[in-house]
Amino acid sequence: MTVFTPPASQLDRAAGPESRPAPWSGMLWVTWRQHRGLLIGVSVVFCAAVAGLLVTGLRIHHDYALLTACRPAALPACQGLSTFFNSTDWHEGEYPHIAVQGAPVLIAMFAGPPVVARELEARTYRYAWTQGIGRVRWTAAKLALLGSLLTIMAFAISQLLTWFFAPFMTTQQLTDLTPTVFDTSGLSYAAWTLTAFCLGVFLGALLRSTLPAMAVTLGAYVSLAAATWFYLRDHYPVNTFWPMQLFEAGWLLALSAALIAGTIWLVRRYAA
């Protein structure tokens, strides 16, 4: 038995001239209901990461303070502290740093594509977009809530990681412009996280299927990051930390805005 679903425009008219759009608070509640698994999961991981960085970071800072206070450096005790810090502490500090670097890739693959693609795959989008919300406001509400939450968490993690990793900057001869350090400092990490999410959402809307979108998003994000690492940064008009951070965050925000605009255009086109 075939069920006829009238176009969105007819359903919008059927709601009557007296109907009013659903309030933003209502759309945020719907977003929570639809994506509570993602929101809860990300929040749990965030809290666990903060706790882990604080506990491990305090110990690493304590060990570093002991190392720098030990004089003369040639004493066997000081050499033992140095060996422990540059082996055990360094490895324990390197693992969370790598994990934080990889987090935007996971967000790009798993958080972004289902936001729109899930409704399109299940063909429930016409119903969802006519419940006093409208397709543009429905999409904007999801992107605003999820994107803001991920960006704020990413910024908080990057600031905590900067403090966590500070002792290794001298012992490992790193600088603020070392790519792995630069990517997780300042504004850059939050901007990359937002771009990763928006890229996944856009490709999910474009391909209208979650699993293919996840695969394409992985390739697109890795390609963008590689191009930035090996080519784009060499052509920035600035070459000091904060100007480079502001420049990179700026073009990433512009790219995120373009991806959001593209997502909304696709949503409007599908409902036409």
Asked, for residue 266, whether it belongs to a domain, the answer is: yes
| pLDDT tens digits for range 187-234 | 999 999 999 999 999 999 999 889 999 999 999 999 999 999 999 998
Distance of CA 77 to the CA centre of its chain: 43
Asked, for residue 15, whether it belongs to a domain, the answer is: no
Q: Which domain holds residue 153?
A: 23-271
The structural domain count of the chain equals 1
End-to-end CA distance of the chain: 25
Asked, for residue 5, whether it belongs to a domain, the answer is: no
Contacts of 175 (CB under 8 A, 6+ apart): 169, 181
pLDDT at 128 over 90: no
Asked, for residue 90, whether it belongs to a domain, the answer is: yes
User: Would you give the DSSP letter of residue 233?
Assistant: G
Query: Tokens 């082996």 — which residue?
Result: 87
pLDDT-derived band at 130, boundaries 50, 70, 90: low
Asked, for residue 4, whether it belongs to a domain, the answer is: no
Asked, for residue 11, whether it belongs to a domain, the answer is: no
Asked, for residue 234, whether it belongs to a domain, the answer is: yes
| pLDDT tens digits for range 10-47 | 444 444 444 455 555 556 666 766 777 788 888 999 99
pTM: 0.84
